[in-house]
Amino acid sequence: MRPSTCFILLLTTGLVLLLLMGIHARSSRISRQAELQERAMLVHRLRLTDLCLFTEARYTRHPAMADLHAPFQDHPTALEHFPSGSLVTPPVTLQRSYAPRP
């Protein structure tokens, strides 16, 4: 078998698997729509905050309530103490409000 044929087979297999994953995700979401709506109503009724993503620092636990200088509260040039701080960016609303104005 030629190398180009192997590549085409591998590429086709990958694309088919990607398509099947998308179909599975869509069908799972449709089948769980009632459960998702019920959970959304519960969150609204109990006035719950954002999902807690990490357990380390307050600016990674609740990204929507974080401020831009929280990681550097000890010193302006301090290094990041927590690994999750490199995975979570500040909310878009904060990035927009501190963006340089033209």
pLDDT tens readout for residues 22-76: 999 999 888 888 888 998 898 889 887 766 667 676 666 666 666 666 656 666 6
| Mean of pLDDT values over 71-87 | 66
Question: Ramachandran region of residue 47, left (φ > 0), alpha (ψ -120 to 50) or beta?
Answer: left
Residue 76: strand, helix, or coil: coil
